[in-house]
Amino acid sequence: MIDDKQVVKAFERLEQKNIDTSIINQVDFSNKQIMVLCRGLDRHQDITNINNPNISANEMENILDDEFDMGLKLQLEHGLDPQKYKIRQLYELNDALNKGLDITPYKSPEFSANHMFVAQTYQENNLPINEFSPQDSLISLIDNRNTLLREAHDNKINSIINNYDPNHDRKVEALNDYKVSIYDIDSQVWEKSLAENGNFGDLSKPLVVDCFESHRRNLLASGLSPEFVDGLGKFTVDQFKLHTGSNSLEYVSVDTSPSRIKLINEILTNEHYQHGPTLSDYNEQQLAVLETALENNTLPHTIYGHDPQTTSAKAYGLLVNEKFNIDSLSEKFVLVDNTNLKTWDTHPVDINHPPCTYIEFNSTEDVLALLQSSEDPGSTTRISELQNTGKLELSNGETLYITDSPDKIGQALIEEQSSSGFKEVLPVKELELSKTYDKQLAYKEAIQSNISTEINKVLDSQLNKPDTHLLINWQNGAVKSYTGEKEALAIKAQGDDLVKANSSTLEKYAAQKFKEKGKEFERTSSSRVDDGLAF
Amino acid sequence: MTKFILDETKFDEMQLDIIKECYDAGFDPSSFADPKYDWAKMQVAAHGIREGFNLSKYLNDFSHSQLDLIRLGLKQGLNVELLAKPELSFEEMHHKLLSLSYERGRKE
């Protein structure tokens, strides 16, 4: 030893605190390494991972720091006490969380690191782990897992055999026949449009419609669903207007869902007319999010204004839940876009022109994903710096930390953007601090007032026949009437309430909904009953 | 970095080793290169410098273990003035560091 005074003191200190130092073999380590190990023990960290003389003292310090952070994260986010765990257990739990797994069934320190690892392999294969116990032998758990996997595999094979669709080849054949006919039209129309200097779309539409109609029966007879066939027809006609008709059919196979066909049609059309993103820019996860929103009738028309290269599937998931009325907010934080107020400010409250739009979110991860989808090219660099270094120097001289609250991070990053003036990030419970809150409140009141008026009209009118159903939307104030529940259900969007229009049901519904909003439904007799409804 | 001049006769071998290692890695050791600080403190201070934290204002009043907690606090972005109190024992500082980190996480 070069100078062991500090080392001796460090050991004495630990021994006074009854901390076992026997794990450190003083002969193997340098003084610098020993001091790092002692500091780790002093902080009640498990030093097993760095108890190796081949690791430099600096490297040991870095590893200890990372493990300290990992323990802290597990403590903060999952209430674990890191001191009760061996370091390998902490690593396994951390790995599981990074894989997006639920650690609840095995987060107790009674489970060994090996148990935790095996449990993860169950979860990754969607196998049940309810019966997992720390007393189970690892061999029995692994045997059981392998048995379950074999059974799952056999079930999958049986399912494929049982679900074999003998019509599959017929469907493929019918679709291919249709595609070939469309390709023929494509070349015919192209030559004709060149010769006559005619408009491609106008020339092709009657031919494409005829072609589709002549194939419709064959397509349906092959076993393709009516929804698929109708979607295919609309898709082909729409795409031929864009000069890309036959090429775009490449995106459609017999396994493409009708909603995916509809989405592809929208994306290609938007690309052509609005110079929006191309279909190939989207990945499968992004498309799946948009497809679900389209099925739920919640896909905002502004969604194609976002670049799929910078807008993650997570961000799309938040953007498709865009809201227009503070009454509908349910998450912790919100990004308020006041851009509409530029044109709206001088007008009276109008339910057709919401003053603001709202994107809700719950975490820092969410708000960074949202802001990454921003068009400001500088924002992505700033967000990367914040994510990579944990902090960011702002232009006002302050420092923003990744550990700051999500609303603080969101607001600070927005203020760094060039077009920041019309956006705000706030906790939902502090929305009254928004600079446009009075307008937002007025809009909410207008929505409620409109719904009250429309419900009263229905109650006054003769329209409340047994089969009449209403779709009521508290986001935009729309109240629409339909004959028959089926018709209403076909149109119903996420956020619409479907209500039977008979007097007792409707009055009860109105009373309940207004009560939820801290108000009373006022039954007023309309003087305009004879005018009928303005639906 | 400006050239660093050191009177090597005033330092022991361990202190010199840490100062040189820091300097050779491209960092400025001047904030802790004083013979009155033992090598264990210097080791923590050098670790802090590598991470971008200057611990010089804490070197006089705290042990190397306490200094390391302050470094961890700075790294967590905490207000370490709540932690860096000479009247607190190591155990009290450790507890404070964990609770400050925990409170910060809960507020998010």
Indicate whether A81 pLDDT > 60: yes
Q: What is the CA radius of gyration of chain A?
A: 32
The per-residue pLDDT for A532 is: 41
Nearest-Cα distance to chain B for A408, in Å, is 10
Residue A242: band (very low, low, confident or very high) from pLDDT cuts 50, 70, 90: confident
Question: pLDDT class for A375, splitting at 50, 70, 90?
Answer: low
C-beta of residue A380 within 8 angstroms of C-beta of residue A422: no
Give A198's pLDDT tier (boundaries 50, 70, 90): low
Mean pLDDT, range A161-175, rounded to an integer: 88
What's the mean pLDDT in A146-171?
89
Over 80: is that where the pLDDT of A381 sits? Answer: no
Looking at the complex, report in whole angstroms how far the Cα of residue A337 sits from the nearest Cα belonging to chain B: 23
What the block records as the tokens of A226 is 């009516």
Q: Which residues of B touch A403 (CB under 8 A)?
A: 76-77, 104-105, 108
pLDDT reported for residue A203? 67
Contact flag A6-B98 (C-beta cutoff 8 Å)? no
φ and ψ at A505, to 5 degrees?
A: -65, -45
Average pLDDT value for chain A: 86
Other CB atoms within 10 A of residue B66 CB = 24
Strands A479-483 and A423-427 turn out to be unpaired
Q: Whole-angstrom Cα distance, residue A383 to residue A372?
A: 7
Q: How many CB atoms lie within 10 A of CB A55?
A: 17
Distance CA B28, CA B7 (A): 16
The reply to whether residue A403 touches residue B77, judged by beta carbons under 8 angstroms, is: yes
Best of B47, B70, B90, B106 to disrupt the A interface (most A CBs within 10 Å) is B47
DSSP 8-state class, residue A323: B
3-state SS assignment for residue A499: strand
A32, A43, A403 member nearest B43 (Cβ): A32
Residue A528, pLDDT > 50, answer no
Q: Give dist(CA B62, CA B92) in Å, integer.
A: 13
| Cα dihedral A503→A505→A508→A509 (10° resolution) | -110
Cβ contact, residue pair B14, A3, below 8 Å:
yes
**Averaged pLDDT, A158-165:** 86
A391 touches chain B (CB under 8 A): yes
B105 to chain A, any CB pair closer than 8 A? The answer is yes
Question: Taking the model in full, what pTM does it have?
Answer: 0.56
C-alpha to C-alpha distance for A47 and A63, rounded to whole angstroms: 10
Could you read off the pLDDT of B4-57 as tens digits, one per residue?
778 888 898 889 999 999 999 999 999 999 999 999 999 999 999 999 999 999
Give how far A87 is from chain B: nearest CA, Å.
18
CB atoms within 10 A of CB B70: 23
Contacts with A, B 4-33, CB within 8 Å: 12-14, 17-18
Separation in Å, CA of B76 to nearest CA in chain A? 8
* pLDDT, tens digit, 9 for 90 and up, residues A320-349: 998 889 988 888 999 998 877 766 556 677
Instruction: Tell me if chain B has a CB within 8 Å of the CB of A332.
Output: no
Q: In the sheet where A423-427 sits, what is the strand order?
A: A357-361, A333-337, A423-427
The average pLDDT across A157-184 equals: 90
B47 and A61 within 8 Å at the Cβ level: the answer is: yes
How confident is the model over A216-235, as a mean pLDDT? 94
Q: Which of A82-86, A288-292, A375-379 has the lowest mean pLDDT?
A: A375-379
Rounded Cα distance between A136 and A336, Å, is: 52
pLDDT-derived band at A258 (thresholds 50, 70, 90) equals: very high
Distance of CA A423 to the CA centre of its chain: 21
ipTM reported for the complex surpasses 0.90: no
Sequence letter at residue A515: K
> Is A75's CB within 8 Å of B102's CB?
yes
Cβ separation of B102 and A76 shorter than 8 Å?
A: yes
Q: Answer yes or no: do B40 and A6 touch at CB < 8 A.
A: yes
CA dist., res. A422 & res. A343, Å (int): 12
Q: Which of residues 38-67 of B touch A (CB under 8 A)?
A: 38-40, 43-44, 47, 50, 64-65
